[in-house]
Amino acid sequence: MLAFMMTIENDRDRDKVTEIYKRYSGTMLYIANSILHEIHLAEDAVSEAFIKIISNLEKIDTVDCYRTRGFGAIIVRNVANDMLRKQRNNNIIPFEDYDDYLGYEEPAFDDFSAAG
């Protein structure tokens, strides 16, 4: 997070992001964790959300208002949902590995000849 703070050019904007982080990062972490159910992923979502907040800082006039809190909440919710969607898409099992996934083993040819 500190590295992203250093990319902000003026002190006023840097102070604004610091204040947003102090006020709303806990709420944002709670929202992300309620979606992702893993704290380390939720922390990643909050970090990514702050990157988006920094890039849209001109849209925030007042830090201490419900609109800023809502803005942060919406961004982190969208980031967390995107992460969850990507995670679910990565859990696709290739057709070739499907038998291994189910634990199915095809009987050996010798097993059929011994039974008959």
As a whole number of angstroms, the distance between CA 8 and CA 14 comes to 6
**pLDDT for 80-104, tens place per residue?**
999 999 988 776 666 666 555 566 5
0.85 exceeded by the pTM?
Answer: no
> What's the pLDDT at 10?
85
> What's the pLDDT at 107?
62
**pLDDT for 26-64, tens place per residue?**
999 999 999 999 999 999 999 999 999 999 998 898 999
Take residue 15 and report the two structure tokens written for it: 């102070």
Domains contained in the chain, CATH given: 2-92 (1.10.1740)
CB contact set of 75 (below 8 Å; sequence gap of 6+):
49, 52, 53
> What's the pLDDT at 20?
95
